[in-house]
Amino acid sequence: MAIYLLRRIFLLFVTILGVSIIIFALMRVVPGNIADVLFESSGYIDQVQKAKIEAELGLDKPLIQQYLSWLGHLLTGDFGFSYMSERAAIDEILPRLPVTLKLAALTLFFTIIFGIPLGVWSAVKQNGLVDNALRVVTLSALSLPSFWCGLLVLMFSVHVFGVIPIYSNEPRSIFHELLLLSIPALVVGFRSSALIIRLTRSSMLEVLRQDYIRTARAKGVSESTIHYRHALKNAILPIITLLGIEASHLMGGLVVIETVFNIPGIGRYLVEAIRWRDYPIVQNIVLFSACAVVMTNFIVDMLYAVIDPRIKYVD
């Protein structure tokens, strides 16, 4: 087990290093840099001034030198500075990070509380009215883009209630903030819940056909105990896997919904930074999202052995 953990931790760091190289390379593939964007917005290009700006920002150095410089600063806790705002990158990212984390946590919460119970209910009521209705709803949820559902929610709120449920930076209580974030969280969680419902249903149906379930019924065990203490416990592994994937994707997948609902999170800020070719901001945000994905997958792998004692990691 110890050797397995060390091997996984080593692969974790190798993966993050590889992702950092890809992020850096892709940003340089995009035509132009912030100096080009600044002069394009003014309509006049001064080559001397442009070269001076590039030299000040270190954009005139070889790419390998720029990458090693960025990586070296990261290892010392220096995340660089924003070309756009001329402030430290960490000072631009940190105020926006809690908003995205709250939105992601709320989305995952709604996904779990709706997805797993409804999936179990659908499996128990197989081919019944509830099961057929949930299959139609989940198929619809998987077919509709989140941004389109978000726009429908905004239009409905305006026409029916006369208000726009858009997040703003005004001071508010934590309850009011969570209430505003719950609307976009439900929009994103609508699709995620549909995935969990369908997977829970299929996993439960497979387990409910096992011999030990029939034995439990023959012994007079209550149906609720059979469903939640026996069947769901043995069907939970693929569900946890999908929840881990959904949780990791939320950090980088909330860009569109944050834009639709005007939420000042790191997703919406990432779009602005890409448009301005603000390399340090883009690289740091995408690298943080990649680290979240890698760490979530690592935690899910470790949870397997905790949840199912039959799983043993051999050194």
Answer yes or no: do 102 and 79 share one domain. Answer: no
CATH code at position 235: 1.10.3720.10
pLDDT at 193: 93
**C-alpha count within 13 angstroms, C-beta hemisphere, residue 197:** 28
The answer to the question of residue 43 being in a domain is yes
pLDDT at 165: 67
Q: Provide the 8-state DSSP code for 227.
A: I
Sorted by sequence, the CB contacts under 8 Å of residue 279 that are 6+ apart come out as 27, 33, 34, 83
Confidence of residue 195 (pLDDT cuts 50, 70, 90): very high
The answer to the question of residue 247 being in a domain is yes
Sign of CA dihedral 185, 186, 187, 193: positive
pLDDT of 199 strictly over 90: yes
Whether the model pTM is above 0.75: yes
The answer to the question of residue 287 being in a domain is no
The whole-angstrom separation of Cα 111 and Cα 103 is: 12
Tens digits of per-residue pLDDT, 26-78?
877 777 667 666 666 555 566 777 777 777 777 778 888 888 888 888 888 88
Sorted by sequence, the CB contacts under 8 Å of residue 102 that are 6+ apart come out as 177, 178, 181
Answer yes or no: do 23 and 119 share one domain. Answer: no
Q: List the domain range (segments joined by +) for residue 214.
A: 97-264
Confidence of residue 269 (pLDDT cuts 50, 70, 90): confident
Answer yes or no: do 111 and 239 share one domain. Answer: yes
The answer to the question of residue 16 being in a domain is yes
The answer to the question of residue 289 being in a domain is no
Q: Work out the average pLDDT over 246-268.
A: 81
Q: Which of 42 and 89 is assigned the larger pLDDT?
A: 89
Answer yes or no: do 112 and 251 share one domain. Answer: yes
pLDDT of 314 strictly over 60: no
Sorted by sequence, the CB contacts under 8 Å of residue 212 that are 6+ apart come out as 230
- The mean predicted confidence, pLDDT, of the chain is 83
pLDDT at 1: 66
Answer yes or no: do 122 and 234 share one domain. Answer: yes
- Could you give the 3-state DSSP secondary structure of residue 304? helix
Confidence of residue 302 (pLDDT cuts 50, 70, 90): confident
Confidence of residue 306 (pLDDT cuts 50, 70, 90): confident
Answer yes or no: do 172 and 229 share one domain. Answer: yes
Answer yes or no: do 159 and 79 share one domain. Answer: no
The answer to the question of residue 44 being in a domain is yes
Number of domains comprising the chain: 2
